[in-house]
Amino acid sequence: MLNIKKTKLHLATAVIVGSLMGASSMSFAQTIKLSHNGDTKSPIHKALKFFADEVKEKSDGDLKVRVYPNGQLGTQRESLELLQSGALDMAKSNASELESFDPAYGAFNIPYIFRDREHFYRALESDDVGQKILRSSEKYGFVGVAYFDAGSRNFYTTKPVRTPADLKGMKIRVQPSPSAIKMMELMGASPTPLPFGELYTALQQRVVDGAENNIGAVTTYRHGEVAKYYTQDEHAMIPDVLVISATTWEKLSADNKEAVIAAGKDATAFMKTLWAEYTAEEMKKATKMGVEVLEVNKDAFINAVAPMHKEAAENPVISSYVKAIKALDK
């Protein structure tokens, strides 16, 4: 009888210890916050949700990512500042915004640096360009995880733009990027940095005469209601970039770091297909909105920004990246 009691006691103890161990391991599961400024219907939100699911699966549930859309946790710039201080874990930004924090990202912002989408992806996937740039920013307080396709950037305006001469004197909204500002100056326009959320009203009230972005800005954000001309000059293919705070990164286990990077690569591939489908659909929507899509000869635009290519080739921070990008144009 005593032995039976001892056996039951040992079994009970084992169950309690096992339960405590299970609770302990659960308590160490991390949940990290990811901020972005797109809405829940946008391709970037779908890609980031895909990323979050992949992280959970690849880490066996040890690491979870909670996605906050619509700028709930701040604008892109505010999110990056929070990342640097360690107050936010992850954010989706883009190379234009990141250039102000890490100048290496400026290599992506040179107008007409990419010949086409295939050239763009070769650069992102290259160890000598895209992957090296992702690793360059840890000293600035954040680490690059993955790239996402954000399409080609084109002008959309309240009057037709077929050559750089048509831009002369026009106020064009740009991101707070040195490269974007310089590009507009060389084309004769007046660059006007504004938060994206204020742009519809600014176009409506003629505070600005146009902007430059992918087709989703025209349709999803309804800018095509007030800017009826979309000029397909494809002056930039600037990737969105998923970054993680260096503080958060340092706290991750080696296995979870691998899970994050692997999930990022999968999400990049997922977005590549998603974006192609999205672009085709949004172009149809733009036409139905009454937006006139203008096909243009790019040569005059390319010639206008030639000084930026010369300057980039002489810039010690990005010259090696620029050279490598151009070498990938096959």
pTM for the complete prediction?
Answer: 0.83
80-135 confidence digits (pLDDT tens): 999 999 999 999 999 988 998 999 999 999 999 999 999 999 999 999 999 999 99
pLDDT greater than 50 at residue 8? no
Average pLDDT score over residue span 13-17: 46
249-266 confidence digits (pLDDT tens): 999 999 999 999 999 999
The whole-angstrom separation of Cα 255 and Cα 55 is 11
Under a CB-based contact definition with an 8 Å cutoff, are residues 245 and 88 in contact?
yes
What is the token pair recorded at 296? 């243009």
The whole-angstrom separation of Cα 40 and Cα 45 is 6
pLDDT greater than 80 at residue 143? yes
CA atoms 170, 281, 238, 201: torsion sign: positive
pLDDT greater than 60 at residue 13? no
More confident residue, 260 or 27: 260
The CATH number of the structural domain formed by 30-149+238-289 is 3.40.190.170
Domain 153-237+291-328 has CATH 3.90.850.10: no
CA distances from 306 to 101, 111, 227, 318 (A): 25, 9, 28, 16
pLDDT at 96: 86
Under a CB-based contact definition with an 8 Å cutoff, are residues 232 and 295 in contact?
yes
pLDDT greater than 50 at residue 14? no
pLDDT at 3: 52
> Dihedral angle at the C-alpha atoms of 85, 90, 93, 96, nearest 10 degrees?
40
Strand order, beta sheet including 171-174: 190-193, 171-174, 210-213, 153-157, 229-236, 292-295
65-82 confidence digits (pLDDT tens): 999 999 999 988 899 999
pLDDT greater than 60 at residue 207? yes
- Count the Cβ atoms, other than its own, within 10 Å of residue 33: 19
The whole-angstrom separation of Cα 70 and Cα 34 is 11
Are both 30-149+238-289 and 153-237+291-328 of the same fold?
yes
- Domain boundaries along the sequence of the chain: 30-149+238-289, 153-237+291-328
